[in-house]
Structure 1
Amino acid sequence: MRDPDKLALRSEAYADFLSGVNSPAVQTEYEVLHLMRQCTAQFGFSHFMIARVPFGEQQRFTERLVLSSWPAELVRDYDTATVFHISVLIERLRHTKLPLFGETKALLNAQGAAARDSIDVLFAGQAMRSTFAVMLHTTHGEAFAVLLCGPRGEPDRAETADLYLTLLQLFETLERTFEAGVSARDKLSARELECLRWAAAGKSSDEIAIILGISGYTVSSYFKTAARKLGSVNRMQAIARAMRMKLI
């Protein structure tokens, strides 16, 4: 049985956290990333990952990855192993609507004879020893795998319910950012997107003007209107927001 005092404190923190998750002010992937980090810590995990569930033939892990706090080197090495689409995790998620909990290296390895020792090595450390995973769907039916990894034991029934609800609400918030990205793409003109892409590539306004065959004044005008449409205060914030929304 759980300690009532600890449970009360956790419930209070959980309620505060949920109020932040439900805030309409959360509109970007960066803000969802911050909330996912909070959720991960709130429930005693150390890392999280959200990825589109692969379908059909082999698909690279990095092509499916949406949000993650995994170390960059781990993402690269797991992508190189090319096992995500044939992993135990994906196979099990396809056959259940319930959350999964298990040893990370077993869930993220390939099934049966295709299993690879290198995956066991990647997830051998205590920091990502266990994984809690659920499959969630967008309103259009696209499937996503949501994982929390860490050195903790399996959550009990009550905590599993809290965790599932929290991840569901976070995922709904993330889906809003997808829709915001589509809306912003519709609002931004082709020239505004071109200017943002070249600026993200490190080009100055004068260089962009030469590339596009327009005046520097016009380039600046495009940046101002793009920033306004993206709800940004300056060019750099507009570029960062456009990148997070996958517009450029």
Structure 2
Amino acid sequence: MTERHYNEDHCEPIRQRLSNCTTQFDLLRLLREITQFYGYSYFFVAGSGDGAISSLADSIIITSAPSDLIRRYDETGLMERSPLMRALSGMGAPIQCRLDEPFKALTVDEQAALDAFSAEFNLDCCFITPVYQREYGPAAVCFLGKCKPMSFSDTANLAMISNLAHQKLRRVSAQPNKTDSPLTERERECLVWTSSGKTSIEIARILGLSEHTVNHYLNNAARKLDAVNRTQAVALAIRQGFID
């Protein structure tokens, strides 16, 4: 099996490229490249946060997957028994799960639901790396797609990259909101992505929200900043130091 390596012939060393990421958008773009390089279609970073997780949508921190994929998976009702849930409980090692092979723990109906979901989005495998940081608790970096099993070397490399990417994501996301800011963290996130040129649909995909919810956050932000539209809201937020 052909092994893939991040080296000077392909791009800059991955550690250096991650260190150069200063925003979630930078990291999203790099993770999309990594996703494609390893033959997958989508990635997502999930976390358990402070509360119980009952759905994939609740766990998403950042993703390239379409909102329809996340919604459809949650409709299968398989989240609580998934390898991702075990990873979000702080258990397990990196694992490549084949979606084109039966899961012994599933009932006939559950297996049928998983098969239908996989066929709809052309998926046959996922790779999950549990990650942990003391300040944030357990999380996971996941890749989904239709590709051949990875070699041991590729598995180790992608697990290492996943850990580094999660650490970087937490650092670039940790920039505190100004104490006098009227914006909630979600409103601030939506404005940041708007300032990067993202549409509501794209922001919804990145944050794992609905387009309606993103528009709600942006409208609230504009109202709080006394702006006539989201473009002016971004300009005012930057001018007042509420976003970078």
Instruction: Give the TM-score band, short-chain normalised.
Output: 0.5 to 0.7
Q: Does the CA contact (< 8 Å) of 1:131 and 1:148 recur in 2?
A: yes
Question: Structure 1 residues 226, 121: CA separation in 2 closer, same or farther (over 3 Å shift)?
Answer: same
Alignment-derived partner of residue 201 in structure 2: none
Give the match's secondary structure for 2:44: strand
Alignment-derived partner of residue 190 in structure 1: 182
**How far apart, in 1, do the equivalents of 2:27 and 2:11 lie?**
16
Alignment-derived partner of residue 7 in structure 2: 11
Q: Does the CA contact (< 8 Å) of 1:130 and 1:151 recur in 2?
A: yes
- Report whether the alignment pairs 1:226 with 2:233: no
Give the match's secondary structure for 2:45: strand
Alpha-carbon RMSD: 4.1
Q: Deviations over 1:15-73 (max 9, x none)?
A: 444422121xx232222211110110122222112212489866122111112222221
Alignment-derived partner of residue 22 in structure 1: 19
Determine which structure has the larger helix proportion and give its number. Answer: 1
Alignment-derived partner of residue 143 in structure 1: 138
In the superposition, the TM-score normalised over structure 2's length comes to 0.67
Alignment-derived partner of residue 201 in structure 1: 219
Shift in Å at residue 223 of structure 1?
Answer: 6.8
Structure number with greater Rg is 1
- Report whether the alignment pairs 1:132 with 2:124: no
Give the match's secondary structure for 2:150: coil
Give the match's secondary structure for 2:93: coil
Q: Does the CA contact (< 8 Å) of 2:43 and 2:63 recur in 1?
A: yes
Percentage identity across aligned positions? 18
**How far apart, in 2, do the equivalents of 1:152 and 1:192 lie?**
40
Alignment-derived partner of residue 167 in structure 2: 172
Alignment-derived partner of residue 212 in structure 2: none
In the superposition, the TM-score normalised over structure 1's length comes to 0.67
- For residue 121 of structure 1, the aligned residue among 112, 116, 121 is 116
Shift in Å at residue 162 of structure 1?
Answer: 1.5
Alignment-derived partner of residue 36 in structure 1: 31
Q: Deviations over 1:182-226 (max 9, x none)?
A: x1x2344237999979882189779948xxxxxx9xxx8x97663
Q: Which has the higher contact order (CA 8 A, sep 6+)?
A: 2
Unaligned runs of 5+ in 1: 210-215, 233-248
